[in-house]
Amino acid sequence: MEAASVPSPAAHDDHDHGPPVANQSSRVNSEVLGMLLFIISEIMLFGAFFTAYFFIRVVSKDAWPPGDGLPVAIAAINTAILLSSSVTMHWTDVSAKRDNQLAMKVGIVTTFLLGLTFLFIQINEYLNIGFTPETSASASVFFGLTGLHGAHVVIGLLLLWMSTVRIFKGKVGPDHHRGLEVPGIYWHFVDAMWIVVFTTVYIL
């Protein structure tokens, strides 16, 4: 019986040493991989709302844009703000790897504030846009897509807040910067996704 030729099972032992260190079977870091996969999920979530956009605007031809014209100019400025936050985020990352604590602090705070500004402008736009989700299906799609993105900005800001706290407590440096890198990846995704939302909703 060949199974017998397998060494007898490791004896059950309860003396408290921790788990054995897992074998790293891939070059990719697990936190980063996890975040990337999560982002795929997120993209699909937006995909579903873009499906709604497609069916309502293209298939059942509901009047687009909702209301009388969208404030493209403001949205464009807002886009610029969000993009610059990506730049500062990257800068923060770099300074973390260079262990430049001051630059890190400045970088993360500006990134956070830029994100916050984006959110405020967005909310302000909602209040003055002149129509509500009840108005029409197109309006629902508008609020659906921008709102979904807004929610992701909020999540992104929460993650950035964690990184900020940890940076100010001096917990982030060249050899332990996952706590910054991973939220960073998410933040870049939120920005990239905005480009898509902006072009489809405001420009096309």
Partner 1 sequence: MTAKLRQAGWYRALAFTILGVAVCLGLSTGLRAAFDVTPVYDGESVLQISLLMVPLFFLGGIGCFDYWLRWASGRKVVDDHADHGAKSWRDYFKVNTDHKVIGIQYICVSFFFMFMGGLMAMIVRAELAAPGRQFIDPNTFNGAFSVHATLMIFLFVIPIFAGIANYVLPLMIGAPDMAFPRLNALSFWMLPVAGVMMMLSFLAPGGSFAAGWTAYAPLSVDAPIGQAFFTIAVQFAGASSIATALNFLVTIITMRAPGMTFFRMPLLVWANFSTSLLVVIATPFVAASQFMVLLDRALGFNFFNAAGGGDVLMYQHVFWFYSHPAVYIMMLPGFGIISEVIATRARKPIFGYRMMAFSLLAIVVLGFTVWAHHMFVSGMSNWIRIPMMVTTAIIAVPTGIKIFSWIATLWRGVLKMDTPMLWALGFISMFTVGGISGVMLAMVPLDIHVSDTYFIVAHIHYVLFGGSLFTIFAGIYFWFPKMTGRMFNERLGKIHFWLTFVFFNITFLPMHLIGVQGMPRRVSDYAEEFATWNAIISVASFVVGLSSLIFLYNMIVSWRSGPKAPSNPWNSLTIEWQVSSPPPIFNFDAIPSVVGGPYEYGVPGAVHAVLKDSTPEPVTAGAGSGAERSA
Partner 2 sequence: MTGETHRGAVTAKTWLALIVIMIIASVVGIVIVLLLPWFPEQGSTVAPKIDTFWDVLIVVSVPVFVAVTTMVLFSVWRWRQRPGEEDLDGPPIHGSTKLEVIWTIVPTVIIAALTTYAVILLVDIEAAPAKQTRVVQVNGAQFAWDFATPTDAGIVKSNRLYLPINEPVKFNIRSKDVIHSFWVPAFRLKVDAVPGITTSYAITPTKLGTFDIVCAELCGLGHAYMRQTVTVLSQARYQAVMAGIAKSSGVGAATLPGSST
Per CB under 8 A, 6 contacts partner 2? no
Taking CB under 8 A as the criterion, the residue among 2, 13, 14, 175 binding partner 2 is 2
CB neighbours of residue 127 within 10 Å: 7
d(CA 26, CA 89): 27
Burial class, 121, CB count within 10 angstroms (exposed 0-12 / middle 13-18 / buried 19+): middle
Instruction: Select the binding partner of residue 104 from partner 1, partner 2, none (C-beta < 5 to 8 A, by kind).
Output: none
Taking CB under 8 A as the criterion, the residue among 1, 22, 44, 127 binding partner 2 is 1
CB neighbours of residue 98 within 10 Å: 12
Q: How far is the CB of 33 from partner 1 (least distance, A)?
A: 5
Q: How far is the CB of 9 from partner 2 (least distance, A)?
A: 19
Taking CB under 8 A as the criterion, the residue among 25, 60, 69, 169 binding partner 2 is 60
- Alpha-carbon dihedral angle through residues 34, 35, 36, 38, given to the nearest 10 degrees: 90
Residues 6+ apart with CB under 8 A from 105: 167, 168
Q: Which lies closer to partner 1 via its Cβ, residue 41 or residue 128?
A: 41
Q: How far is the CB of 3 from partner 2 (least distance, A)?
A: 9
Amino acid present at 18: G
Q: How far is the CB of 76 from partner 1 (least distance, A)?
A: 26
Residues that bind partner 1 (CB under 8 A): 1-3, 5-7, 9-14, 16-26, 28-30, 33-34, 37-38, 40-42, 44-45, 47-49, 51-52, 55-56, 59-60, 62-63, 133-141, 143-144, 162, 165-166, 168-169, 171, 179
Q: Which lies closer to partner 2 via its Cβ, residue 27 or residue 61?
A: 61
d(CA 180, CA 159): 9
d(CA 60, CA 63): 9
